[in-house]
C-alpha cells in the first residue's frame, strides 16, 4: 500500500529495499507504468512481471566477501592451533550468500587448509540468537566470525569480544561497536547506488533492468582494518583487491554449498 500511495502522490522515484518488498514493488510498478521505481538487492529479471520501469540495484557482495575472507585466512594462519573461520547469515538469500560464498573462497585462497563453518540464524534482529550461534562456532575453533545478519549480527561481535577472537562487520563500518575485536567490515554502499538512481532520474537517463556495483565502482569495500593487523597482511589484501578490480581473480563463488 505504501508504494502505490507514493505513486498516487506523483513522486519522481520510489525506492524499495530488500526481498520482502519484491512482490509489492513488482505490483506497484506494473500498476503504474509511467512512474519510476527502484529496489535494492532484488534482481528485476526475477520479478513476475519484469516491469520495464523498475530498476534493480544489485551488488557484487562476493568481491568484498572474498577480501574479508582473505584477511581472515591470513589472520588464522598466524594464530596458533587449527585454522577455522566462521560466518553467521541472517537468512539464505542471494545477497547474504554472495557475502558468505566470497568469504569462504577468500579464506581458502589465503590458507588452503582452513576449515569454514557457516550457520543461518533465520533472523535479522535477535542479538542473543546470533551471539549463541557465534559462541558455538568459536567453541569449534573459529578465530574469526563474519556476521551477515544485520542487527542480529551485533551478537556475533559481542561473542567475539567475550572470547577474545575477531569479528567481521557487514554493510557499514562496524568497528565502532568494538574497536578491539572488529577485524574489518564488508561494506555495501546502498547510498551510492540510490544516489546514482536518483541522478539518472534528474538527468533523464533512468531505465529499468539491473545495475550492479562492485569494488571497481566503490559499491562494496573494506571498512577500517584493525590497527593490530600487520602491514604485510594489509599489503596482501590490497594486492588481492587490485587483482579483483583488474579481472585477474574471476568467478568468485556466489552460492554457499
Q: Do domains 2-59+189-213 and 61-187+227-245 have the same CATH topology?
A: yes
Q: Identify the architecture of domain 61-187+227-245 in CATH.
A: 3-Layer(aba) Sandwich (3.40)
pLDDT at 226 over 80: yes
Region 113-119: what's the mean pLDDT?
99
Domain positions in the chain are: 2-59+189-213, 61-187+227-245
Q: Topology of domain 2-59+189-213, per CATH?
A: Rossmann fold (3.40.50)
pLDDT band at residue 5 under the 50/70/90 scheme: very high
pTM of the model: 0.96
pLDDT at 257 over 90: no
Neighbour-count burial for 148-166, b at 16+ CB within 10 Å, e otherwise:
bbbebbbbbbbbbbebebb
State phi, psi for 61 to the nearest 5 degrees.
-60, -30
Retrieve residue 213's grid coordinates. Answer: 556495483
- pLDDT number for residue 165: 99
Region 12-28: what's the mean pLDDT?
96
Region 35-51: what's the mean pLDDT?
98
Amino acid at each position: 500500500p505504501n508504494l502505490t500511495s507514493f505513486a498516487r502522490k506523483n513522486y519522481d522515484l520510489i525506492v524499495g529495499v530488500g526481498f520482502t518488498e519484491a512482490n509489492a514493488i513488482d505490483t506497484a510498478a506494473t500498476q503504474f507504468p509511467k512512474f519510476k521505481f527502484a529496489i535494492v538487492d532484488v534482481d528485476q529479471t526475477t520479478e513476475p512481471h519484469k516491469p520495464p520501469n523498475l530498476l534493480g540495484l544489485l551488488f557484487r557482495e562476493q568481491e568484498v566477501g572474498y577480501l574479508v575472507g582473505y584477511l581472515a585466512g591470513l589472520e588464522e594462519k598466524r594464530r596458533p592451533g587449527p585454522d577455522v573461520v566462521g560466518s553467521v547469515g541472517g537468512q539464505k538469500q542471494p545477497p547474504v550468500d554472495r557475502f558468505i560464498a566470497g568469504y569462504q573462497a577468500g579464506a581458502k585462497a589465503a590458507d588452503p587448509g582452513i576449515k569454514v563453518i557457516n550457520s543461518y540464524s533465520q533472523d535479522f534482529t535477535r542479538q542473543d540468537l546470533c551471539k549463541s550461534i557465534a559462541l558455538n562456532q568459536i567453541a569449534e575453533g573459529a578465530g574469526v566470525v563474519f556476521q551477515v545478519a544485520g542487527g542480529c549480527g551485533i551478537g556475533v561481535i559481542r561473542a567475539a569480544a567475550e572470547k577474545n577472537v575477531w569479528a567481521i562487520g557487514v554493510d557499514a563500518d562496524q568497528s565502532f561497536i568494538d574497536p578491539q575485536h572488529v577485524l574489518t567490515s564488508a561494506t555495501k554502499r546502498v547510498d551510492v547506488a540510490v544516489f546514482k538512481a536518483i541522478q539518472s532520474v534528474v538527468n533523464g537517463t533512468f531505465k529499468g533492468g539491473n545495475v550492479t556495483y562492485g569494488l571497481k565502482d566503490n559499491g562494496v569495500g573494506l571498512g577500517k582494518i584493525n590497527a593490530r593487523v600487520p602491514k604485510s597482511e594489509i599489503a596482501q589484501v590490497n594486492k588481492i583487491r587490485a587483482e579483483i578490480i583488474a579481472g585477474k581473480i574471476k568467478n568468485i563463488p556466489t552460492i554457499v554449498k
